[in-house]
Structure 1
């Protein structure tokens, strides 16, 4: 038996309003049927944690995406991080988190192209702020996520699928 890795899969744009509805028991069943173990979900927004011996993260993501499409008719991207990567991004947070509802992390599937932020002026979005760290972008959104303008503006510049989670969710996924 190979080494067991604990993954967090963040499904992009599921259960937002009436779009891409998925029941968490169905999501857990799909994941378990793929041979993953210790499967659990968090909230109703497409967060799933599981263990697997499959060492290739891209294969894990692709298999999950294909199974969701085949079994549930759900077409979405699965953005994966290992449990160790999640702990590292929590430990490396550049923001003093006094209110976890005002801090969010944008998880990118791939590392963005070098220079993607060149020429981007975050000034018009103040008091919103951002910090980049590899495949994550941290946001401080003092007026809340619902009215935030900076994350959508950043998302339009990226050439990779991404999904955002608030700090409370991020810290509960480890």
Structure 2
């Protein structure tokens, strides 16, 4: 990789969910290329974007949010991670494979997710989430990421509904998506 170019993953919050905030990925790619992001790739329709830039995370985040507001008329939060940060998230899952298998056996759909925040939650938010969670689901907060393990369904889980108690915008991705983004980021780096 030349100079200080960084491979980033941008996770757009609330894109193409339930017929709202519709953005075609081809249009998103070209608008992000127009603001100088390089080698832009998208994965599925839920707003997962990989790209290369030499700018700092905060700068890139602000430019993407402004571009989406200007081009698509949608105000949203973009959560950014470097390729290395994404790899670390996937490599350091705090749940044992036994615990994950146990949850997967009773869960409708995916059981393992990661909630990603632009910055770490405040202690008051962490306390509120702890108070609101039932014993059904398990979570582990690591910096600005929250690992989520559901035993029944992500859709009906109190934990999903209560993530906003952390006091920061949050976007959630299932484990398969996280793993695929890590794989795509590695390909971009090579």
User: Do they superpose with TM above 0.5?
Assistant: yes
The residue number in structure 1 matching 2:6 is: 5
Q: Aligned Cα RMSD in Å?
A: 1.7
The residue number in structure 2 matching 1:32 is: 33
**Is the counterpart of residue 161 in structure 1 residue 178 in structure 2?**
no
Contact 2:116–2:171 (CA<8 Å) still a contact in 1? Answer: yes
TM-score scaled by structure 1? 0.91
Shift of 1:27: 0.9
Q: 1:109 aligns with which of 118, 133, 147?
A: 118
Contact 2:10–2:50 (CA<8 Å) still a contact in 1? Answer: yes
Shift of 1:116: 3.0
Q: Distance in 1 between matches of 2:114 and 2:91?
A: 13
Q: Distance in 2 between matches of 1:2 and 1:159?
A: 36
Q: Distance in 2 between matches of 1:128 and 1:158?
A: 16
Shift of 1:125: 2.1
Shift of 1:144: 2.3
Shift of 1:151: 2.2
The residue number in structure 2 matching 1:57 is: 57
**Is the counterpart of residue 43 in structure 1 residue 44 in structure 2?**
yes
Shift of 1:159: 1.8
The residue number in structure 1 matching 2:17 is: 16
Contact 2:163–2:170 (CA<8 Å) still a contact in 1? Answer: no
Shift of 1:62: 0.4
Shift of 1:31: 1.3
Shift of 1:34: 1.4
Point out the structure with the larger helix share.
2
User: Aligned residue pairs: how many?
Assistant: 171
Q: Distance in 2 between matches of 1:111 and 1:14?
A: 22
Determine helix, strand or coil for the equivalent of 1:75: coil
The residue number in structure 1 matching 2:131 is: 121
Q: Residue deviations 1:110-162, cap 9 Å, x none?
A: 1111353236336x62221111100001110121212222122132x222111
